[in-house]
Structure formats: structure tokens, C-alpha cells
Amino acid sequence: MEEEIRLMKGNEAVAHAAIRYGVDGYFGYPITPQSEILETLEAERPWETTGMVVLQAESEVAAINMVYGGASMGKAVMTSSSSPGISLKQEGISYIAAGELPALIVNCMRGGPGLGTIQPSQSDYFQATKGGGHGDYHLIVLAPATVQEMADFVGLGLDLAFKYRNPVMMLADGVVGQMMEKVVLPPMRPRRTDEEIAEQCPWAVTGNPEGRKPNVLTTLELDSAKMEKNNERFQETYRLIEANEVRYKEFYTDDCDYLMVAFGSVARICQKAMEDAREQGVKVGLIRPVTLWPFPYDAIREAARNAKGVLCVELNAGQMIEDVRLAVGLDIPVKHYGRMGGIVLDPQEILDGFYKEFPEAKKI
């Protein structure tokens, strides 16, 4: 398969990208607003072309444990869901992190808590970046803002997952999952052979071929001293990821008097609000964290250095703002503007919210 330009939904792009990036197995369960990922894969029948396994599991719990099983074998495996389903997957995600296993988990967020709404939200930021499951662990969290990034982050996510032997979450929202845009689908990357897996993943549980000792994938260690060592090894990995993998985009941060910080689809709406403000003579800049963990603390601190105020715009009650405050410190006011319950922002209300929090900006 060659590179191809198509018009499609973000969710469909994830499915096509999964086939083209050589994913070995996808295990899913229907939930709005991400069901197109499973539907598209079933319609594409990749098991007839690349040999990719696609399975609709009996629950999100089963699906994530299938991912755990596949990842234990060194296979490139993924699952996807939306907020309530992601809550159910947290047990498995913790095990995948503890097993130091590569896997990709896509969360196409909807509003919560509880069954909530099927409309878009960003209210799983805490869950994705601060843990979610039990124990001291981190996911690498990628936040796509475009349909293109939903496709690209399948490849990037799997590469990072294997590089660090750590699960990666693509934290999308119902807006990017559902909207249609032009997307450049990558050329076909073949699935890895058994020989390649054995070479790249000597730890993988592949059935103990002759010539090596049995591999055992376990997350249990009853000896506390050994368990602490395991934890220290995990933490070393996290420090390495923090040092190497921070990603963000910045706009007009060189001369900004005010800084906006937003991720995912909201960052694109903020871009328009920022441009409108600049037309009105107010120097607003914007930073869009692409990795929510590791978080771009330094970039935000640097961009806000000469700012009079920072506005954190999110589709939630204020979650990323805690990290923005950690980045900026106490000397510069950091304010939140957001909507909840599935309401999507428009540029004008962001601008209104901005002027309400920073009325002096209008007088410049």
C-alpha cells in the first residue's frame, strides 16, 4: 500500500493507520464516540491482507487483558475506547505498565462522570496523566488535535511504546474522533516477523523456542526489596521519557503579553481566538502540549516568562491548569476557562472568557 490522501473521520484514520503501521492485533468493544475504529477495522478485514487480528471482546476489561496478552508476546497491539470504557481498562493498564509492556490505548474522550454524555470532553486529563490505575506508573500521553495526528500518533505511539517498553495513550476527544478532514495515510509498514520480534523483544513470551530459557511475564513480586527495585527501574524509564520525549507546538510565544495553553481540538479553537485577539492589538500566544505526559513544563515557563497572565482553556472544570500552574509558578496569574458536559467551545466565548479574566488586556 502506498501513501494515500483521503477524507475521513479521526476514528477511521486510527483504524486505517493501525493496518498501515503493521499492528498485529486490535481488541475493542463498542462505545460512542469511538466505535468507528472497530467498525472500520471489521469492514477493512485486515486479517486477509496483513494478517492483523481484530476482535470484538466481551467487555473493555477483556479487551485490555487481550492487549496485555498480545503485548506479552512482543506483538504490536492496541485497543480503543471512550471515557467510561477507559475507566474499566485501568486494571489492565496498570498491569501493562507493571509488566513493562508496549501497547497503544486510544481514549476518544466524552463527558463524565458516570455514564455522562456521548459529546466531546477533555475531562479524563487527570486519569490519563496522573495514573488512572493503581500503583506508581506513567503512561506516555499523546494529544492529537487533527485527524492527521490521530493517524500519525498510531505510528508514533507504537514506536514510543516499544522504545521504552511502556504503554502509550492517545488522548483524543470526541471532536477529533468524529470530525472529517483530509488525511495523508502512511505507506504500508509490514508487520514484524517472528524473528524480528525475537531479536527486538528477547523478553517476549513466545512459547520458549529451543535455545533459550523460559520467559515469564509477571507483575507479582512478594519480596518488598525486589519490588522496590522494580519500581526504581520503572522510575528510571519515566525520567528518561521526561528527558527525551516532551513535545509541544507554540504560536506567537516570542512576543506574547498573554499566553493561552490548550490541548487537542481546543487548541485549534484557541488558535482562532488568539488570532482574533491579535487583530484587536492584544499580543496573545499559544502553547499546545502534544505530550500531556511528559508535560512541557519548561516550554510553558519560558513562554510565560514575560506574560501578564496565562489562560488555560479546557473542556473540563480545570485539570491541566494544575500542571500549567506548576510550570508558571505563583508570580503570574493562571486562570481557567472551560465548558463541561459535552459543550464544545467557540473562539468568541474563549475571547470573552479571556477578557473577563484579564480585563486590563483590552486597555493595551
Partner 1 sequence: MTLDEIKKAENIVAAKPRLLNDSTMHYCPGCSHGVVHRLVAEVIEEMGLEHNCIGVAPVGCAVFAYNYIDIDWIEAAHGRAPAVATAAKRLNPARMVFTYQGDGDLAAIGTAEALHACNRGENIVIIFINNGIYGMTGGQMAPTTLLGMKTATCPYGRRADLNGYPLAISPLIAQLDGSCYVTRQAVHTAAAVKKAKKAIRHAFENSMAGRGTSLVEIVGTCNSGWKMTPAQANEWMAEHMLEKYPLGDIKDTTKE
Task: Check binding of 95 to partner 1 (CB under 8 A).
Answer: yes
From CA 172, how far away is CA 11, in angstroms rounded? Answer: 9
C-alpha cell at 208: 520458549
85: three-class secondary structure by DSSP = helix
Residue type, 341: G
Closer residue to partner 1 in complex, CB, 58/331? 58
Task: Check binding of 332 to partner 1 (CB under 8 A).
Answer: no
**# residues contacting partner 1 (CB under 8 A):** 37
Report in angstroms how near the CB of residue 61 gets to partner 1 at its nearest. 7
CA distances from 185 to 229, 252, 289 (A): 42, 30, 23
C-alpha cell at 122: 477533555
Task: Check binding of 198 to partner 1 (CB under 8 A).
Answer: no
Task: Check binding of 80 to partner 1 (CB under 8 A).
Answer: no
Closer residue to partner 1 in complex, CB, 73/262? 73
| Near partner 1 by CB under 8 A: residue from 68, 153, 234, 358 | 68
Task: Check binding of 25 to partner 1 (CB under 8 A).
Answer: yes
Task: Check binding of 77 to partner 1 (CB under 8 A).
Answer: yes
Task: Check binding of 206 to partner 1 (CB under 8 A).
Answer: yes
Q: Which stretch binds partner 1 (CB under 8 A): 21-29, 124-132, 134-142, 345-353?
A: 21-29
Task: Check binding of 55 to partner 1 (CB under 8 A).
Answer: yes
Task: Check binding of 218 to partner 1 (CB under 8 A).
Answer: yes
Q: What is the per-residue DSSP string for 275-338?
A: HHHHHTT--EEEEEESEEES--HHHHHHHTTT-SEEEEEESSSSSTHHHHHHHH-SSS-EEEEE
From CA 90, how far away is CA 66, in angstroms rounded? Answer: 13
Report in angstroms how near the CB of residue 51 gets to partner 1 at its nearest. 10
Taking the alpha carbons at both ends of the chain, their separation in whole angstroms is 55
- Is the Cβ–Cβ distance between 122 and 264 less than 8 Å? yes
Q: Give the x/- contact pattern for partner 1 in 157-196, rule: CB under 8 A.
A: ----------------------------------------
Task: Check binding of 214 to partner 1 (CB under 8 A).
Answer: yes
| Near partner 1 by CB under 8 A: residue from 30, 39, 42, 53 | 53
Report in angstroms how near the CB of residue 44 gets to partner 1 at its nearest. 17
Location of C-alpha cell 498501515:
20
Closer residue to partner 1 in complex, CB, 143/204? 204
Work out the burial of residue 160: count CB atoms within 10 Å of its CB; fewer than 13 is exposed, 13-18 middle, 19 or more buried. buried
| Near partner 1 by CB under 8 A: residue from 90, 219, 230, 231 | 219
Look at residues 354, 279, 360 and name the one whose alpha carbon lies nearest to residue 313.
Answer: 354
Task: Check binding of 62 to partner 1 (CB under 8 A).
Answer: yes
* Residue 288 backbone dihedrals phi, psi, to 5 degrees: -115, 105
Report in angstroms how near the CB of residue 329 gets to partner 1 at its nearest. 41
Task: Check binding of 70 to partner 1 (CB under 8 A).
Answer: yes
- Is the Cβ–Cβ distance between 21 and 78 less than 8 Å? no
- Compute, in degrees rounded to 10, the torsion defined by CA atoms 165, 193, 156, 67: -60
From CA 49, how far away is CA 280, in angstroms rounded? Answer: 54
Task: Check binding of 208 to partner 1 (CB under 8 A).
Answer: yes
Closer residue to partner 1 in complex, CB, 62/240? 62
Report in angstroms how near the CB of residue 234 gets to partner 1 at its nearest. 17
Q: Which residues bind partner 1 (CB under 8 A)?
A: 24-25, 27, 53, 55, 57-59, 61-63, 65-70, 72-73, 75, 77, 91-92, 95, 205-210, 214-220
